[in-house]
Amino acid sequence: MNGVLRVAAGQCGAVPGDVQANLESVGRLTSDAAEAGADLLVLPEMILTGYGIGAEAVSRLAEPLDGPMLTRVGEIARDHGVALCLGHPERDGQDVYNSASFFDEHGERLTGGRKMHMFGDVDVEQFTRGDAVPAAARWRGTTVATAICYDIEFPETARALASAGAQLLCVPTANMVGFDVVSRLLVPARAAENQVFVVYANHTGTDPVFEYNGLSVVVGPDGQPLGTAGRGAEMVLADVDVEAIGAARAENDYLADRRSDLFG
């Protein structure tokens, strides 16, 4: 399988406010992903704490990137030899961000980023919005980058990441019942219009505020889903061959043909 990476979207729920329980769940899912031959496991937004848990709990549980919560995530990645991308609250002084981190299979945090687009009251009340486009990073012959939930619904986000060279977008999300259009339409469109891979990993079940709609999906650079989850807990596996990006761009190349002179 030269150059082919097996990716997993781990659709699961979080125990609201219980970091220890969620870290144990991350460990079990990473073990499952390793057994399934996965090179990378993407888990949902705010999976270490739960998403709709209120501003007080988010602020109390948020840690800097070098805090014990993410240190443990790096250890899990290293122990199982699987790269891990997931969402978590990030403290930076007085600010708390809705962040994603990408750890390689040696436990090193390669890249990540802060949610830029605030979804409704829940994001505004719980988080400071991020003001930087996440950085792309090289990982095993592929260029990866993160985006978070509502960010990927805006074509500007995926365009900026793909223009920076990203070939595999890892998207932790907490998408709710009533918004199936995101998994069915917008995420596949982001893959197709940039001719990249997208891994979109969602919550299932409920938390104190929301009911989540599942439908995690891995999409190829032609916009075709390589695997889609249902509504419940499930791990979606897909093989990602970055050579397919060149094939998709051979007939028409959106990044080359776009009018950056007109649209920036």
The residue ranges that bind a copy of itself (CB under 8 A) are: 116-120, 131, 133, 150, 153-157, 159-160, 178, 181, 185-186, 188-189, 192-193, 222-223, 251-252, 254, 257-259, 261-264
Cβ proximity to a copy of itself: between 139 and 150 the closer is: 150
Cβ proximity to a copy of itself: between 93 and 178 the closer is: 178
Handedness of CA 93, 96, 102, 108 (dihedral sign): positive
**Distance (Å, whole) CA 102 – CA 7:** 13
CB of 138 to a copy of itself, least distance (A): 24
- Report the first-to-last Cα separation within the chain, whole angstroms: 38
CB of 243 to a copy of itself, least distance (A): 19
Catalytic residue among 12, 63, 105, 115: 115
**Distance (Å, whole) CA 225 – CA 170:** 15
Which residues partner with 170 through β-bridges? 146, 199
Catalytic residue among 12, 45, 63, 153: 45
DSSP one-letter code for 130: P
Cβ proximity to a copy of itself: between 66 and 263 the closer is: 263
Residues in the chain: 264
* Antiparallel, parallel or unpaired: β 40-42 and 217-219: unpaired
Cβ proximity to a copy of itself: between 25 and 128 the closer is: 128
Is residue 115 part of the annotated active site? The answer reads yes
Task: Look up tokens 């709609």; give the residue.
Answer: 213
Catalytic residue among 12, 63, 105, 149: 149
Is residue 35 part of the annotated active site? The answer reads no
Residue 157 phi, psi dihedral angles, 5° rounding: -65, -55
Q: By three-state DSSP, how is residue 96 classified? A: strand
CB of 263 to a copy of itself, least distance (A): 4
CB of 171 to a copy of itself, least distance (A): 15
Is residue 149 part of the annotated active site? The answer reads yes
Known catalytic residues? Answer: 45, 115, 149
